[in-house]
Structure 1
Amino acid sequence: MTAKPPTPADLALSDAVGRGDADAARAALRAGADRERRDGQGRTPLLLAALADRVAVAEVLVGAGADVNAQDARDDSAWLVTGVTGSVAMMRTLLPGGPDVTLTNRFGGVSVIPASERGHVAYVRAVLAETDIDVDHVNRLGWTALLEAVVLGDGGRAHQDVVAALLAAGADPALPDGDGVTARAHAERRGFEAVADLLRRAESQGGEGPRAGGGGR
């Protein structure tokens, strides 16, 4: 079935998203733009706004009822990509739209997992505090957010703070990867002594980690 060609209002909305022009986006919606119209990769205007961190435009779209959970051909959604960009402002803008925090990306992960991998400290703290996202969700690779922060992180301050935030939120340090290797064992193998120390302390406290930001330098 051939896709219906875009209307002038649809094109105006697409342009507004690209420029980050909230007033123009609002005008395009009033003119009848389809807020759920998808591009060639299945991306909605809201998803494109989230990818570009166009917070003001996203606020207009969410207010107009745009679907925060609509996924594209790569299984990305506006909500899921906030874990990649690490935008706390966008995350909070999407919350009134009722994001499904159990929705998974193409790797089977929830948004806190890529955020942990990338060392987005502020995002990890915010999403754990402001949603009921599963801190111990396991993706298709067999990794939790804690494991990704260690396996794919660099052991530096940002990843130390991410590990501390995850532990403070109740992440289980004893959960191993698919090969039975724990986050602490990975940290020790990679020479991330400050991270390994955080994990050792969490294990000794029965899984109750230190407060975020409490790691060593």
Structure 2
Amino acid sequence: MKFKKLLLTVLYCSLSLTIPSISVSAQEGQPIISDKSTTNHSVSTSPFFPSILPSFQKLHTPSPANLPQQLIIVQTSGNYNQQEATNMTQRISNIDSKTLYALYHKNIRIKLINFPITYLPEYSYLRGQIPRGWEGTGYTWDSVPGIGGNPVVARIGYSDYGNMHTSINLELHETAHAIDRYVFQNISYSQEFLRILVNIIPFPSVLITTIQRNILLKPMPTIT
């Protein structure tokens, strides 16, 4: 039972990130970037994995109301869709608060941006590189709308299925990668996790190796 909530958080909203037949090109020129903290105050406070998550809330911790603005950064160049950024923040904030606290105390941050992810200093080394699984598409990391490393990054306006990805939701998909990797130490590769996944996934006839490969298809960069 203890893994089922994680499956809902990490996997149900985290399907394979593959490229559809959509033509979206990266912006040209280096943007002038500004940082803005979010002001969303809606965070779930229900229990989540108390036996697995450390007691992070005993440390210096923002209140549930202030957690989103400490964890999520809106970093933009010029005009952007503020309502969509707010919607993205709301969706992330609805992840169980203990999981978000775990990300916060592991110094994982989530950036919502309106320019190519390769313009961020953290991911500039990916410019011109072809992501695994995107060979032959003509696209590079400059066109990828999100990444699940540290920081987690999602482009504003690309949340929905079909916007250069086939995830149910972009920002939840990328955040789920970080939860899996940094909070639960790649728990999606564990035998118990995969066994439960087979029992609850909507298409149980799919081979588990295929499911796992698709869930973690896009590699996360190595963070030092």
Task: Report TM bin, short chain.
Answer: under 0.3
Which one has a bigger Cα radius of gyration?
Answer: 1
Higher strand share: 2
TM-score (norm 2): 0.24
Greater length-normalized contact order (CA 8 Å, ≥ 6 residues apart): 2
TM (norm. structure 1) is 0.24
Which structure carries more helix by proportion? Answer: 1
